[in-house]
Structure 1
Amino acid sequence: MTTDSIEQLLIEGVQELYYTEQQLVDSLGTLSEETSIQAASHAFADHREATEQQVQRLEQVFEALGEEPEAREDIVVTAMLDEHRQFSGENDGEVLDRYNMAVGQKTEHYEIAAYGNLASLAEKTGNDEAADLLVETLREEQDALDQLTEASEQFDEQQIASD
């Protein structure tokens, strides 16, 4: 992949995030349904609603950049989704719950890195409106990670107490 400019790198990154968020809307619903840990299930369901809004916010970012919304496959996200489908098809119970929490946290870390980098590129290229929108979503992703981390810690405490 050859990219001619920082502006083009920004646009391609937003296209990949647009793909990512669209894919995660469906995946978060699945995670919520298949996770038996109530706090994690609620965190996934809550973040699904936020992700729907993030898709719309990315459409605003495209507008601020003077571009039409377009999804560009992010092969990292595709691989994570494929891995989850395979794992969840072969496992259940406590193992699947623990795996789902880890996948949720891994995804949030990935999104935090992507949004942080793109917000920085938007600022560097003078696209302040796009930068502000990206930072708004970055904060939501950080909150989602905190919520999943707390659910994971509660799960660990419950497991220790029951042993």
Structure 2
Amino acid sequence: MATKTSDTKDNNTTSSTTTSTGAAIGTATSTSAKKTTAVDNATVKESDMKSSPLHKFFVSSLKDIYYAENAIIDALEKMQDAATTEELKEAFEDHQLQTKKHISRLEKVFKLIDETPEKKECEAIKGIIKEGEEVIKSTEEGSMTRDAALIIAAQKVEHYEIASYGGLAQLAITMGHDKAADLLERTLQEEEDTDYELTEIAETYINFDAEQED
């Protein structure tokens, strides 16, 4: 009788172990399935986001400002050569260096949203740059009037960039691209600082000296 009792206990233990193991396997399988589903859902969500009109507009606008920043580097070099005062020449040189950083930052933004950096021809910046070239042609070399006019031309560039980066940063936040938004907001702040510095240069003495010219 003792032997039969022992066998019964062993059978119960085996059955319990088998049930427990089966439950564990079932739980692991269920967890794995949930993880796979979550990954699949995330992939589908990312795919849907990339095909959304807002994402396409966001990428198109990035390409627009990417073109603009590259064009601005060349324009600033011409403005630097045309400027009269050393202070304004240095300001344009500093802005060139800053613009190169902005281009590098934009390339990081493209990478963060899994897109390839590309330029899209920007008619707006082409027009603003052309206007700046006309300023150089229509003002006297070595005059303070030219510097005053160049500052206004440069600020038109800044205001275009401020509007572009401000809008792009907000779109990035809306779509959940937080790291991209941080980069865009950093550039936005630097553009605003440059605009303020140009105003300071103009109001300190250039505008007043230009007013005295015949």
Q: Deviations over 1:104-145 (max 9, x none)?
A: 111111111110000000110111111111001001101110
1:79 is matched with 127
Deviates more, 1:142-151 or 1:82-91: 82-91
How far has the Cα of 1:74 moved from its partner? 1.2
Partner of 2:42: none
After superposition, residues 1-163 of structure 1 pair within 5 angstroms as 5-92=53-140, 93-154=143-204, 155-159=206-210
**2:207 counterpart letter in structure 1:** D
Tell me, what secondary structure is at the counterpart of 2:176? coil
Residue identity opposite 1:125 in structure 2: M
Partner of 2:36: none
Deviation at 1:39, TM superposition (A): 2.1
Distance in 1 between the 2:144 and 2:113 partners? 45
Root-mean-square deviation (Å):
2.0
Identical columns (%): 32
> Relative CO higher for 1 or 2, CA cutoff 8 Å, sep ≥ 6?
1
Q: TM-score, normalised by structure 2?
A: 0.70
Deviation at 1:160, TM superposition (A): 6.0
Residue 40 of structure 1 contacts residue 152 of structure 1 at CA under 8 Å; is this kept in 2?
A: no
Q: Which runs of 4+ in 1 moved over 2 A?
A: 83-87, 89-96, 156-163
TM-score, with length taken from structure 1: 0.90
Structure 1: runs of 5+ lacking an equivalent: none
Q: Structure 2 CA distance, aligned partners of 1:122 and 1:22?
A: 22
